[in-house]
Amino acid sequence: MALALLLFGAQAALSMWWLRTHRFGPLDWLWLWPGDLLTSRLIAAMLLTIAVGAAYSVRYVDTARVTLGTAVAYGFGVALANLWSVLENKPIRFSYLLAFAAICVISGVLLRQIPRSQQAVGTARPRVD
């Protein structure tokens, strides 16, 4: 679980760095956002939040749950927002949809792997194995 959180956080940090330093991506079909600087920086800020949360969560189960739950909600929300484009007669960016749906699903799988027996509230913080 700790390795999965580290890899997840590293990928989010790398994506954040690229978004913060580049307005456009190398391939149009792969670049997932509109390309305006504000959108890129806002997405980068959220990815930075997830990366820092994942790095902090490596040691403790309670923060791992919060980080992964946040990533599930974020991935689901962004994927759903992309599907909302259909109502406005705009094209769906399938790479965008797939990337954030993957964040949602992978985070959900990792979240389900945390044993329920480690949900002690008000006790010493259980470590991630």
Domain chopping of the chain, boundaries: 2-118
Which positions ≥6 away from 44 have C-beta within 8 Å?
A: 15, 16, 17, 19, 20
Per the CB < 8 A criterion, the answer to whether 19 and 41 are in contact is yes
Query: Of the candidates 77, 78, 108, which has an alpha carbon nearest to the alpha carbon of residue 4?
Result: 108
Count of helices and strands (H, E) across the chain: 4, 0
Tokens representing residue 101 in the block: 């749906």
Among the residue ranges 27-41, 64-78, 82-96, 102-116, the one predicted with the least confidence is 27-41
Q: pLDDT per residue over 119-129, tens digit each?
A: 544 445 556 65
More confident residue, 60 or 28: 60
Q: Given this model, what pLDDT does residue 35 score? A: 62
Q: How far apart are CA 45 and CA 25, in angstroms?
A: 17
DSSP secondary structure letter of residue 34 = -
Q: Find the mean pLDDT for residues 51-79.
A: 88
pTM exceeds 0.85, yes or no: no
Q: Is the pLDDT of residue 76 over 90?
A: yes
